[in-house]
């Protein structure tokens, strides 16, 4: 008997414990449901229909179902969530990988990479032109791009005026002792051997010969040999490369006709396009690094000037750099990569991961309070590696989201949409007597239900005046 009573007591105790546990579970479930915020109510048959209060669907009469807030984390109590602000529990931030960094003010130096083009220095480009009319007799190793030496003979020409001037030069030099210099003038062995008129006469004839295209080397040769030249030699004035050639044997030419264009490429210029706002960052003397695209060679170049002209097509300025050219690796019209250090004044910067760029605007998420983040539109400046300059929108010391930014942005967009004004009912009119049932304006013929798009059929034949209409999806009587 005692065993029976003991067993019965144990059974009752187990039943009581289950009842208490179930009641607590139901209570916790109810509390959990109460803690969730209802965003709106929807029609279970047509989810596009939303209502800001519970009730029945106007098209089918079913109970509207609530849609709860499905935020990524619990909302902080009393935290506002307007304009896309997001409230995330502090304990959940680490779980979602959300990191926060303070806005800093510092001075940055960036490396600007631009494309440059090699051109010869205009002060090292020499043009050989004709001093008078004549014709070309012969040319020698003067192909375009050929490397030539100073005083190397490139061609011979005949100029009729040369013989008369050369005769006067030889007559002026008779009886003058001493050696002839590079410019055609003699160095007198005994001062006072000739008068000043004789020296000026020699200098005058020498200048006239140069004006006719006779080189200093040929003038010296005439003075030494005491013979008149049969032709005028066209020689290179400098060590360099032939960039232009406009003559052929037997060609007649007029005065000032260009024979050759020769450039000394021991030092070259490099032009790069930059924006007007960047011109102040590249001061003369700044050292740049130049890399040839198809070679693994680098050169150092110095910024010499920013040209004042603006390119009409690109609306950019020309940055000019000077570079030594060992081995003539930098050739005219060659494209090179130019890396320039640019120092920027101190300003606010944030990591690039903090920036959300939608194309039309840029914004970051600022921590307004602990666990509350609000979007804020900003204006950005330059980028320095993994950081970006903030021109407007933030102040020093504010904290912005740098980890999990896109997760916070997605939650903000979702919250902003749910807080937007709810859509108006899909039907034209609603009367309390019909339990939110729409009153259709069309009284004859077939029409579509504005909620579901299905055809509404008439109970009677259309030849008669219809008494009412039926929704083919939800066959309820409609007035």
Strand order in the sheet with 65-68: 50-51, 38-42, 65-68
The reported pLDDT for the residue numbered 474 is: 46
* Burial group, residue 187, by CB count within 10 angstroms (0-12, 13-18, 19+): exposed
The reported pLDDT for the residue numbered 2 is: 55
What does the DSSP 8-state code read for residue 425? P
343 confidence band (pLDDT: 50, 70, 90): confident
77 confidence band (pLDDT: 50, 70, 90): very low
Q: How far apart are CA 177 and CA 169, in angstroms?
A: 15
Among 76-80, 81-85, 91-95, 261-265, which is the least confidently predicted range?
76-80
Task: Say if residue 460's pLDDT is above 50.
Answer: no
Are 382 and 110 in contact by the 8 Å Cβ rule? The answer is yes
The reported pLDDT for the residue numbered 437 is: 41
Q: How far apart are CA 459 and CA 443, in angstroms?
A: 12
Helix residue ranges per DSSP H, 270-396: none
The reported pLDDT for the residue numbered 334 is: 93
Phi, psi of 80 (to 5 degrees): -75, 150
If one compares 294 and 25, the residue with the highest pLDDT of the two is: 294
If one compares 444 and 413, the residue with the highest pLDDT of the two is: 413
Average pLDDT value for the chain = 76
Q: Write down how long the chain is.
A: 479
- How many Cβ atoms sit within 10 Å of the Cβ of residue 332? 16
Closest CA to 290 of 340, 341, 328, 327: 340
Helices (H) and strands (E) in the chain, counts: 6, 34
Q: Helix 216-225 vs helix 161-173: angle between axes, to the nearest 10 degrees?
A: 60
Q: Which two tokens stand for residue 450?
A: 């504005």
Q: Which two tokens stand for residue 373?
A: 């983040």
Among 243-257, 291-305, 364-378, 427-441, which is the least confidently predicted range?
427-441
Beta strands in 159-274 (DSSP E): 179-180, 186-187, 232-235, 240-245, 252-253, 258-263, 267-274
The reported pLDDT for the residue numbered 125 is: 95
What domains lie within the chain, and their CATH numbers? 86-108+346-418 (2.40.420.20), 125-263 (no CATH)
462 confidence band (pLDDT: 50, 70, 90): very low
Among 11-20, 171-180, 355-364, 425-434, which is the least confidently predicted range?
425-434
Q: How far apart are CA 450 and CA 429, in angstroms?
A: 12
**pTM listed for this prediction:** 0.54
The reported pLDDT for the residue numbered 195 is: 45
Q: How far apart are CA 310 and CA 293, in angstroms?
A: 26
């Amino acid at each position: 008997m005692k065993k029976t009573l003991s067993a019965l007591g144990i059974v009752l105790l187990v039943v009581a414990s289950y009842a208490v546990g179930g009641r607590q579970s139901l209570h916790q479930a109810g509390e959990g449901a109460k803690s969730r915020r209802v965003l709106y109510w929807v029609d279970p048959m047509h989810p596009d229909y939303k209502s800001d209060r519970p009730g029945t669907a106007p098209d089918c009469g079913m109970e509207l179902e609530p849609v709860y807030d499905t935020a990524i984390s619990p909302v902080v109590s009393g935290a506002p969530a307007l304009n896309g602000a997001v409230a995330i529990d502090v304990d959940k931030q680490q779980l979602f990988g959300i990191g926060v960094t303070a806005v800093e003010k510092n001075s940055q130096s960036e490396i600007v990479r631009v494309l440059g083009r090699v051109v010869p220095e205009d002060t090292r480009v020499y043009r050989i032109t004709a001093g008078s009319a004549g014709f070309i007799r012969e040319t020698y190793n003067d192909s375009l791009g050929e490397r030539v030496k100073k005083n190397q003979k490139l061609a011979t020409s005949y100029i009729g005026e040369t013989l008369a001037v050369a005769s006067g030069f030889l007559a002026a030099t008779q009886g003058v002792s001493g050696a002839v210099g590079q410019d055609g003038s003699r160095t007198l062995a005994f001062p006072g051997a000739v008068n000043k008129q004789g020296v000026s006469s020699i200098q005058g004839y020498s200048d006239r010969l140069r004006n006719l295209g006779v080189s200093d080397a040929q003038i010296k040769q005439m003075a030494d040999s005491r013979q008149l030249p049969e032709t005028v030699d066209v020689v290179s004035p400098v060590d360099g490369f032939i960039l232009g050639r406009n003559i052929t044997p037997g060609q007649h030419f007029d005065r000032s006709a260009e024979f050759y264009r020769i450039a000394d490429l021991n030092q070259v210029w490099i032009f790069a396009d930059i924006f007007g706002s960047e011109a102040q960052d590249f001061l003369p003397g700044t050292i740049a690094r130049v890399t040839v695209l198809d070679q693994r060679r680098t050169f150092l170049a110095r910024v010499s000037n920013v040209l004042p002209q603006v390119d009409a097509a690109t609306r950019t300025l020309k940055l000019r750099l000077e570079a030594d050219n060992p081995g003539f690796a930098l050739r005219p019209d060659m494209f090179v990569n130019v890396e320039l250090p640019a120092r920027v004044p101190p300003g606010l910067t944030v990591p690039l991961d903090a920036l959300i760029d939608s194309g039309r605007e840029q914004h970051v998420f600022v921590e307004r309070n602990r666990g509350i983040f609000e979007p804020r539109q900003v204006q950005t400046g330059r980028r320095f590696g993994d950081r970006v300059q903030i021109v407007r929108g933030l102040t020093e010391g504010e904290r912005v989201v740098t980890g999990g930014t896109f997760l916070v942005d997605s939650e903000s967009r979702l919250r902003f949409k749910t807080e937007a004004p709810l859509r108006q009912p899909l039907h034209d009119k609603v009367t309390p007597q019909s339990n939110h049932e729409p009153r259709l304006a069309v009284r004859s013929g077939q029409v579509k239900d504005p909620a579901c798009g299905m055809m509404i059929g008439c109970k009677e034949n259309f030849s008669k005046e219809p008494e009412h209409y039926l929704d083919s999806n939800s066959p309820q009587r409609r007035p």
